[in-house]
Amino acid sequence: MKKVVVYAFAAALAGLSVPAFATRIATVDVKKVFDAYSGTQAAKDALKKKVDEEKSSLEKEKDSLEKEASTLQGKKSVLTDAKFKEEAEALQVKERDLQEKFQKVTDKLQKEEAEQTAEIVDLIKEAASRVAKREKYDLVFEASNLLYGGDEITASVIEEVNKK
């Protein structure tokens, strides 16, 4: 009987001491940090510049092809059917090549954007980790993944990520 009372008392003490070792939880709004990070706008600007340069180059090629097509249509009455067909097919090959080039450029730019986004998210994770260690948080969740509880540390993470 004494053993049961001792075990019950020990269990009660263990239950009382749990709050002393409670886990500290924090939340971070990653989108807010991403938007407030100074490097995000710089990356967007650099990518926009590349997009504009590529677009300009492709537009020039497109205009050139349209001019060739217009010229070919103007010559249609003086060319033989075989010669017109040959030049029209050559023009179609150029158009397909331009479409392929456009797709490759688009894919390259999308990949570059994804890589830049991933790098920025990694910086945000590192900043959140430093803030959590400094402020002694055990767990940090993205704000949208935690329904209730936790301290909001987004502002601290924004300050930390912008230090670099």
* pLDDT band, residue 69 (cuts 50/70/90): confident
Residue 27: count of CB within 10 angstroms of its CB: 21
Integer-rounded Cα Rg, in Å, for the chain is 31
Predicted local confidence at residue 21, as pLDDT: 62
Mean pLDDT, the chain, integer? 82
Predicted local confidence at residue 151, as pLDDT: 87
* Domain parsing of the chain, residue ranges: 23-161
146 close to 23: Cβ distance less than 8 angstroms: no
Q: What is the mean pLDDT of residues 18-32?
A: 78
Domain 23-161 annotated CATH 3.30.910.20: yes
| Chain segment 106-160, per-residue pLDDT in tens | 998 899 899 999 999 999 999 999 999 999 989 889 888 878 888 889 899 999 9
Q: Decide: helix, strand or coil at residue 26.
A: strand
Is the full-model pTM beyond 0.75? no
Residue 137: count of CB within 10 angstroms of its CB: 19
